[in-house]
């Protein structure tokens, strides 16, 4: 039985902001199915009462004094933007029905 359907792959792709071609969707459905089958091996592992590990070594929340420090100048910070106006990033309009 398939572990994942093409419809699910397309739904996930939408969540991940990826547009898949028909061929990609088909190939990825197969790949994801194979991978999900492989990781099902973990089902056989008894993890009752096992704490999950989010981080390999114990880390405490690092705190520092709340002081202003030098940082990138606004011009530098936006210097890599594909499109910008002054020190702002520009994007296609977000609000429907408003003339830009």
Partner 1 sequence: MAQRLGTLSELRAALDDGRTSASDVVAQALGRARELAPAFAATRGLRADRAAEEALQADQRRTARALRSVLDGIPLLLKDNLNHRGEPTTCASRILDGYVSPYDATAVERVKAAGGVVIGRTNMDEFAMGSSTENACDQPTRNPWDPTRVPGGSSGGSAAAVAAGIVPVALGSDTGGSVRQPASFCGVVGIKPTYGRVSRYGLVAFASSLDQVGVFSRTAADAAALLQVISGHDPLDSTSLDEPVPDYAAALDGDVAGLTIGLPREYFVEQGVDPDVLERVRDAVKELERAGAKTCEVSLPHTPYAVATYYLIAMAEASSNLARYDGVRYGHRATGAHDLQSMYSRTRSEGFGAEVKRRILLGTYVLSAGYYDAYYRKAQQARTLLRGDFEAAYRSCDLILTPTAPEVAFALGERSADPLQMYLSDIFTVSANLAGIPGISVPCGFARDLPVGLQLLGPALGESLLLRVADAYQRRTDWHTKTPPEAS
100 binds partner 1 (CB under 8 A): no
67 binds partner 1 (CB under 8 A): no
The nearer residue to partner 1, 16 or 22, going by C-beta atoms, is: 16
Least CB distance from residue 61 to partner 1, whole Å? 8
Between the CA atoms of 36, 38, 42 and 44, what dihedral angle is there, to the nearest 10 degrees? 110
SS3 27: helix
Please state the separation of Cα 71 from the chain's center in Å. 26
Asked whether 9 and 20 are in contact (CB, 8 A), the reply is: yes
Asked whether 82 and 88 are in contact (CB, 8 A), the reply is: no
The nearer residue to partner 1, 52 or 86, going by C-beta atoms, is: 52
Which residues of this protein are in contact with partner 1, per CB under 8 A?
4, 8-9, 12-13, 15-20, 24, 28, 31-32, 34-36, 38-39, 41-43, 45, 47, 50-57, 59, 61-62, 64, 72, 76-83, 89, 91-94
């Amino acid at each position: 039985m398939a572990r994942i359907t093409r419809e699910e792959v397309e739904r996930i792709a939408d969540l991940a902001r990826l547009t898949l071609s028909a061929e990609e969707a088909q190939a990825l459905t197969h790949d994801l199915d194979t991978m999900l089958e492989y990781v099902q091996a973990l089902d056989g592992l008894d993890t009752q009462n096992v704490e999950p590990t989010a981080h390999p070594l114990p880390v405490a929340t690092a705190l520092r004094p709340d002081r202003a420090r030098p940082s990138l100048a606004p011009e530098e910070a936006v210097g890599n933007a594909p499109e910008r106006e002054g020190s702002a990033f520009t994007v296609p309009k977000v609000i429907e029905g408003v003339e830009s």
